[in-house]
Structure 1
Amino acid sequence: MSLLWDWPTRVLHWAMAGLFLGAFSIAVASSEHGRVFPVHAAVGLLLGLAILLRLVWGFVGSRPSRFASFPLRPSSLARYLKEALAGQDRPTDGHNPAAGYAALAMLLLPLALAATGIAMGLGGKWAEEVHAVLAYAMLSVVALHVLGLAWYTRRHREAIALSMVHGRRRLPQGEAIPSSRPFMGVAFLLVLAGGGTLIWNGLDTRRRTLLLPGMSTPISVGENEKGRQGLEHQGDDD
């Protein structure tokens, strides 16, 4: 077993998975009129921060984690799916074409979710339906990703999901990365912790508002007529 995934990739992978499932679960289980619902927005924004960090790492990280290593040519995907359906596919190092497209979708969709969530908070009614569609699209991609992992594990007798825990896989000689970059993994954790603290400090569950770092006016979260009235009164007092 050789080292394939560095610490930053693994840290961000599990952070993104946990944050998306957390945000989605809160949104589904709570009412837009309730005080718990704004936590969904806070978690979603932290997910957006994790995505931005992963995008940066996709350009400067270890070789298997870089976007340049993703096999994203449509012809590669078509060939891979054809071989997989025929039972002729071979084990791959890093992302196979299907996993590469899934990874790209799981990076872009949360960014669109964060953007439409902010647009909703700023009064954009058009964004509400788009936000819901994107959320279920993301859930579908995650489900397909998990099914793909299960299929690959059974097909090739390799528990590749565990490689995102310990970072190791069976690799040809010379394909392993030289370092797991633990200090960068800790640095990303600290950035997420700091970002989470700033977001949490700007959250007002009573008024159902969220003050984003760098903004002077809070945004509304969910059905928030009382919150909007409170902000209007605050502006009158000023």
Structure 2
Amino acid sequence: MDRETNALPGTRRLKVWDPWIRMVHWLIVLLIPFSWWTAETHRFDLHLWSGYTLLTLLVFRIAWGFVGSHTARFRSFLASPLEGLRHLGHFRRRQAAIEIGHNAAGGWMVLVMLGLLLAQAGSGLFADDEIFTRGPLARAVDTSTSALATSIHLRVFWVIVGVAVLHILAILAYRLVRKQNLVGPMITGALRLPVAYRGPVPRMGSNWLAAVLLALAAVAVWALVQWGQAQGSASAFG
């Protein structure tokens, strides 16, 4: 638990989100519009690097979901779909239970967004628009597979935008209906709770482990890109 600094009478701060989860969250928030802008303005070198960065963050996030902080682990927030629906059914209740980390519905939103972002970044590796640029693995597959990846890459982006808008609307609804601030804790890492709270205290993951995992994710993506480019060069001269 972090040091308690009471800004409101009768409350204390509880650390619920580690800096690695917050870093991934806000970088993805920035990378989505940045990727769109680089594609629209034909800055495809930057577009590729944005995709590589996004893929690195996703690989790290998935690994951190198994060995990271308690609130980051999939097993701590992935409930059954029925539980998620039950949570939404009780949404209008003002006196909501204290939720540490993602709730049952929010956990599924995280899983859906991770899946869509993986589909977007992964398909980009194989995409080839035959005009401006191609992904580093485009020449490692046949043209029909590359064309399918290109189609997925173009269409999934707008699904991601739709889900992101839904996510923002949900945040506003929680703020207006349930009086819960979901953005603040993702910025500061801490949730303000009553002093009398005696519930679970999330265990934070190792910063050293997180740094190693992030470095390994970056190396893995870099190696994949280099391999793809080497395959493309070999096929071009073959």
> How far did 1:91 drift?
4.5
Could you say which residue in structure 1 is the equivalent of 2:41? 30
CA contact (8 A) 2:70 2:204 kept: no
Q: Size of the alignment, in residue pairs?
A: 208
Deviates more, 1:90-99 or 1:183-192: 183-192
1:176 maps onto 2:196 in alignment: no
Match of 1:13 in 2: 25
CA–CA distance in 2 between the matches of 1:161 and 1:110?
A: 21
Deviation at 1:87, TM superposition (A): 6.1
Please provide the CA RMSD for this pair. 3.0
CA contact (8 A) 1:163 1:169 kept: yes
**Contact 2:14–2:191 (8 Å) recurs in 1:** yes
Partner of 1:153: 175
Tell me by how many angstroms 1:3 deviates: 0.7
How far apart are the structure 2 equivalents of 1:215 and 1:93? 42
SS state of the match for residue 53, structure 1?
Answer: helix
What's the CA shift for 1:159?
2.2
Q: Which of 206, 220, 227 pairs up with 1:214?
A: 227
**Mapped partners of 1:133, 1:72: distance in 2:** 29
Distance 1:179 1:71, change over 3 A: closer
Contact 1:6 1:181 in 2 (8 A): no
For the residue of structure 1 that corresponds to 2:100, the secondary structure is: coil
5 Å-filtered alignment, 1:66-81, equals 66-81=73-88
**Could you say if the C-alpha distance between residues 179 and 66 of structure 1 is closer, same or farther in structure 2, counting changes exceeding 3 Å?**
closer
Match 1:127 to one of 127, 135, 149: 149
4+ residue runs of structure 1 moved beyond 3 angstroms?
85-91, 178-196, 231-234
User: Alignment identity in percent?
Assistant: 26
Q: Give secondary structure in 2 for the equivalent of 1:138.
A: helix
1:3-52 residue CA offsets vs partner (Å, 9 max, x unmatched): 1111221122222222223212322x324xxxx12321221121011001
Residue 84 (structure 1) aligned to one of 86, 91, 94: 91
Question: Residue 132 of structure 1 aligns to which amino acid in structure 2?
Answer: L
Give the TM-score of the pair, scaled to structure 2.
Answer: 0.74
Q: Is the 8 A contact 1:7 1:180 kept in 2?
A: no
Amino acid at match of 1:212: V
Moved more, 117-126 or 64-73: 117-126
Residue number in structure 1 paired with 2:6:
none
Q: Aligned to 1:215, what secondary structure does the other structure show?
A: helix
Q: Tell me how far apart the structure 1 counterparts of residues 26 and 220 of structure 2 sit (CA, whole Å).
A: 17
- TM-superposition CA deviations, 1:40-91 (whole Å, max 9, x none): 1221121011001000000001111100011431111211222215767544
**What do residues 194-225 of structure 1 show as CA deviations (whole Å, max 9, x unaligned)?**
789x59xxxxxxxxxxx913335376xxxxxx
Q: Secondary structure at the match of 2:86?
A: helix
- Whole-Å separation in 2 of the counterparts to 1:71 and 1:165: 22
In structure 2, do the counterparts of structure 1 residues 25 and 216 end up closer, same or farther at CA, with 3 Å as the change threshold? closer
SS in 1 for 2:101: coil
1:170 counterpart SS class: strand
Q: Cα–Cα, structure 1 residues 178 and 99, in superposed 2: closer, same or farther, change >3 Å? A: closer
Contact preservation (8 Å) 1:212, 1:218: no
Normalised by the length of structure 1, the TM-score is: 0.74
Give unpaired runs (5+ residues) of structure 2.
1-12, 128-134
Ranges in structure 1 where 5+ consecutive residues have no aligned partner: 200-210, 220-230
Rounded to whole Å, the distance in 2 between the matches of 1:233 and 1:82 is 56
